[in-house]
Amino acid sequence: MSGFPHQLEQRSNAEALCDALAERLEDQLRARRCGDRPLGLATGRTMEPLYAALVRRLQGWRTDELAALKACWSSFNLDEYRGLAASDPRSYRRFMAEQLGGPLQIPDGALRLPDGFAADGDGAAAAYGAALARSGGIGVQLLGLGSNGHVGFNEPPCEADLPCRVVSLSSATRQQNAGMFGGDPAAVPSSAITLGLQEILAAEEIHLVVTGAAKAAILRRLLAARQPDPQLPASWLLRHSRVWLWADAPALAPPLA
Ligand code: GLP
């Protein structure tokens, strides 16, 4: 295996990168037809400028074109925390409503996320995986990169055949995401529902987005990988032939001497 990535899209900063990726997504959305495979969406700080750029572009569409896109909208998010109500400002459902669903007025139910508030987490995960399978699997998948190499909430160690399921969050991830929880890692939910590498690797096309100096160390590890390594979940993307890595200069910077 020859190493990662198959295609590298490099830009000087996150803003330029998000605008270029938003342009590509816009082209793909223009070509969309009802019944096409759903979009695979991600949350996290990396995605905020991307959704802002995409919303700006889509708001420039003709009213009838945008209405047609929304009428056929179908997306599945990667993951959701367990134990947060849908209305909780820290839930990924709220994140998506604020970043994309609200600004574009996407119809309720078309922008899907796992039900993290269900009492039966395993049942909710199985139902979400089954709903995605009935929709034909992901078409275009957006991914961020966790500082420990996770994608979605697939924490290391992680195998490629794992499906949508309930997962425990590592202390590294709870630390990474503490910002939304008053800076307290202990306040971050200890579990989540995530699509697995099984569903992610079945996507037709994957865009991994990595920006900022805080991701430089984990991106270096990923770029050095020659074989998938369960300790680095993102390295399973080596198995997929249509992966684009979108990285900005701070994320690609060499370590300080
Ligand atoms: C989070 C999410 C991922 C996200 C990643 C990076 O924990 N579960 O889906 O892509 O970690 O987050 P951020 O973009 O905030 O750095």
Judge contact between 216 and 250, C-beta under 8 A: yes
Q: Which atom of ligand 1 is nearest to the CA of 215?
A: 16
Rounded distance from Cα 67 to ligand 1 centre (Å): 30
Number of domains comprising the chain: 1
The mean pLDDT of the chain is 96
The catalytically annotated residue of 148, 154, 207, 229 is 148
- Asked whether residue 1 is domain-assigned, the answer is no
pLDDT band at 151 (very low <50, low <70, confident <90, very high): very high
- Asked whether residue 189 is domain-assigned, the answer is yes
- Asked whether residue 143 is domain-assigned, the answer is yes
Position 45 pLDDT exceeds 80: yes
Return the structure tokens found at 79.
């993951």
- Asked whether residue 69 is domain-assigned, the answer is yes
Q: Say how far apart CA 70 and CA 105 lie, in whole Å.
A: 8
- Asked whether residue 256 is domain-assigned, the answer is no
At how many degrees (to 10) do helices 47-59 and 14-30 cross? 50
Task: Please state the length of the chain.
Answer: 257
Average pLDDT over residues 202-210: 98
- Asked whether residue 257 is domain-assigned, the answer is no
Rounded distance from Cα 51 to ligand 1 centre (Å): 14
- Asked whether residue 108 is domain-assigned, the answer is yes
148 noted as active-site residue: yes
150 noted as active-site residue: yes
pLDDT at 183: 98
- Asked whether residue 227 is domain-assigned, the answer is yes
Domain that holds residue 97: 6-251
* Domain at 35, CATH number: 3.40.50.1360
Mutate to test the pocket of ligand 1, among 50, 113, 177, 209 (most ligand atoms within 8 A of CB): 177
